[in-house]
Amino acid sequence: MINSNLLTVRDLKKYFDTRAGFLKKPAPVHAVDGVNLNVGQKDVLGLVGESGCGKSTLGRSILRLIEPTSGEIIFDGEDMMKVDNRRLRALRRKMQIIFQDPFSSLNPRKRVIDTVGEPFIIYGMAKGKALKERVVSILEKVGLSSDSLYRYPHEFSGGQRQRIGIARALAVEPVFIVADEPLSALDVSIQAQIINLLQELQTSLGISFLFISHDLKVVRHFSERVTVMYLGIIVETGKTEDIFTNPQHPYTEALLTAIPMPDPSTKRKKIILAGDVPNPAQIPPGCRFHPRCPKRIEPCDKIRPKTTDLGGGHSVECHLRG
């Protein structure tokens, strides 16, 4: 596992300065606050957590679409934080992102051939007839026919636009894709089509994914491993089945029981967390989850737990397992 790592992220931080009111001290928002993770070759790491916990910021910081505050991002043996701009551009060719909203992530004035073909032109890989052929073959991969070539985004449905977004990402033949909630703007029946597409591409092209989603059912279906984020940090990581059948962090446990299951015959006991999704500008001391934790014990509100390695790639940050 270790030597087949494609991406290793160490102690990555991204703080945003907020402009507080007059006379108020600006309070930096610790959106990503010391994250460690790794993604192997042909691996799919699911990243789950609630709104504002830092999922998207983490995904974008890894690609340096947002400039991280500090940390290491080792991609294919090179530290993304240390390379110069030319090298960064070259590395970026191997990494792509797919966004949540297929409506706003495509340029409305660009035809499909321009959007999907853009990277070929930027990197000088193809033009003219060759370009058209390459674009058509990518469109085929994502299930769009060649008569889409000269049409504009508004002529497509949500699911089709997401296919265009995926085609754009595939154009440069990336080895790693950050998919940031790629399904959440889509209807159930279309979601299933896109999940199938991503899965096909993943297996046939061997692309690694960081798959960001708040939908745990989708994550379970698509990911090899899962990592759970809470208030800027990772609280639990493990193989998908271990996380879903044997969660060790009380937050993971609560998240899992909170999903409404489409099966009226299973009566599960729900763990209903008190309190709101927390604010990353006000991080509680000790364990960040302690104000909402139904199992909190003596040191939780004072001392931050260490990460415990439970073996088999399963790790957790919680005093109960410390």
Partner 1 sequence: METLLSVQDLKTYFYTGDGPIKAIDGLSFDLIKGTVFGLVGESGCGKSVTALSIMRILPPAGKTVSGKIIFKGDDLLNKTEAEMRGIRGGEISMIFQEPIASLNPIFTIGYQIEEAILSHLKVSKRESKKRVVELLKAVGMPSPEIRVKDYPHQLSGGMCQRVMIAMAMACEPSLIIADEPTTALDVTIQAQILDLLRKIREESGTSMIMITHDLGIIAEMADSVAVMYTGRIVESTDTRTIFRDPRHPYTIGLLDSLPKGKGEKLVAIPGMVPKPSELPEGCKFSTRCRYVIEECQSSEPPLKEIDTGHWVRCIRSGEIKRL
The CB-of-183 to partner 1 minimum distance in angstroms stands at 10
Q: Cβ closer to partner 1: 49 or 68?
A: 49
Is the Cβ of residue 176 or residue 222 nearer to partner 1 in the bound state? 222
Q: Which residues bind partner 1 (CB under 8 A)?
A: 50-51, 157, 159-160, 187-193, 195-196, 199, 214, 216-218, 220-223, 240-241, 244, 254-255, 257-265, 270, 272-274, 276-277
Residue with smaller CB distance to partner 1, 96 or 160: 160
Is the CB of 9 or the CB of 273 nearer to partner 1? 273
Q: Which is nearer to partner 1, 172 or 185 (CB)?
A: 185
SS3 state at 210 = strand
Sign for the pseudo-dihedral over CA of 116, 122, 123, 125: positive
Contact at 8 Å (CB) between 31 and 16? Answer: yes
Q: CA dihedral in degrees (167, 201, 62, 77; nearest 10)?
A: -120
From the CB of 160, what's the least distance to partner 1, in Å?
A: 8
Burial (CB count <10 Å: 0-12, 13-18, 19+), residue 126 = middle
For residues 235, 241, 245 and 249, what is the CA-based torsion angle, rounded to 10 degrees?
Answer: -10
- Could you tell me the smallest distance in angstroms from the CB atom of residue 176 to partner 1? 21
What token pair was written down for 201? 């591409």
Q: To the nearest whole angstrom, how small is the minimum distance from the Cβ of residue 195 to partner 1?
A: 6
Question: Is-contact 234 308, C-beta < 8 A?
Answer: no
Q: How far is the CB of 125 from partner 1 (least distance, A)?
A: 32
